[in-house]
Structure 1
Amino acid sequence: MEIVYLCDHPELINELAELNFKEWGHFRADDTVEGRIEHLQANAGKGSVPTVMVAIEDSQLLGGAMLLTRDMAARAELTPWLAGVYVKEEHRGRGIASQLVARIVQEAATLGVPELYLYTDTSQTLYARQGWEVLEQRVYQGLDVTVMMRGTAAP
């Protein structure tokens, strides 16, 4: 398994967009697969914020994660954000999500970003194990979420 830039594997954009839509599309009434494709294309940078990383094995997509300038309109002053961490169900339990998160943190550190933010409704434990700290609890888009932050310097 390797974690690589999505921009180097554009053939995976549609599949990742479909997976992201199935996972989170119901949170926004105006969300579409096409909108997700456009979002991934617009954010699939390399050596910059934004960027999208994907985990692949034998040319097959396992999952992905994004480094975005903004991910929560209610906290627009916080930047940048880890977002869209997703691993296909059949590949979960292998530590892929943790590796994707670590790779995004590494990318941010390389870019000179001192700290990152994220929000989650269900995965606080996953992130806490990797050094993320709770910043606040809030309701966002009708969900109870936890906003977390993490410095990018190695512990």
Structure 2
Amino acid sequence: MHIDYLCDHPELIEELATLNFKEWGEFRPGQTVEHRIEHMRASCGKGAVPSVVVALEGSRLLGGALLIENDLKLRPNLTPWLAGVYVKAEERGRGIASQLVNRVVAEATALGVRELYLYTDTSQSLYARLGWEVVEELVYDDLPVTVMKYTTRQ
């Protein structure tokens, strides 16, 4: 298994965007798979915000994660964000999510980012184990979520 930039594997953009849409599309009323594909394509930077990394086994997609400017409309002052951390169900339990998160943290650190944010409704313990701290609990689009922060070592 290795982690690479999605922009170096453009044939996987549609697959990752579709997986993201199936996982979280219900939280973005009015958004379509096509919107998600375009957003994923637009986020495909390399060594920049935004960028997308993917976990691969050979050429097979296992999961992905994004480094984006903002992921929570309620907190426009917080930036940048780790978002869309997704691992295919059949690949979970192998530490892939942790590796994706650590890669995005490394990318952000290399860019001089001092604080990186995320929000989650179910994975607080995963992020806490990786060094993330709770900033606040809030309700976003009728969903209770935890906003977390990672302070990089500059």
TM-score (norm 1): 0.98
Equivalents in 2 of 1:5, 1:141: separation in Å? Answer: 30
Equivalents in 1 of 2:45, 2:98: separation in Å? Answer: 21
Equivalents in 1 of 2:126, 2:50: separation in Å? Answer: 23
Matched residues, percent identical? 68
Equivalents in 2 of 1:75, 1:135: separation in Å? Answer: 11
The letter for the 2-side match of 1:38 is E
Partner of 1:5: 5
The letter for the 2-side match of 1:132 is W
Aligned pairs for 1:2-151 (under 5 A) are 2-151=2-151
Where does structure 2 lack aligned partners over 5 or more consecutive residues?
none
Q: Shift of residue 31 of structure 1?
A: 1.4
The range that moved more, 26-35 or 54-63, is: 26-35
Q: Shift of residue 153 of structure 1?
A: 1.4
Q: Shift of residue 28 of structure 1?
A: 1.5
Partner of 2:152: 152
Equivalents in 1 of 2:145, 2:87: separation in Å? Answer: 20
Equivalents in 2 of 1:26, 1:148: separation in Å? Answer: 22
Equivalents in 1 of 2:2, 2:32: separation in Å? Answer: 29
The letter for the 2-side match of 1:144 is P
**CA RMSD across the alignment:** 0.8
Where does structure 1 lack aligned partners over 5 or more consecutive residues?
none
Equivalents in 1 of 2:32, 2:64: separation in Å? Answer: 18
The letter for the 2-side match of 1:29 is P
Equivalents in 2 of 1:81, 1:68: separation in Å? Answer: 5
Q: Shift of residue 142 of structure 1?
A: 1.1
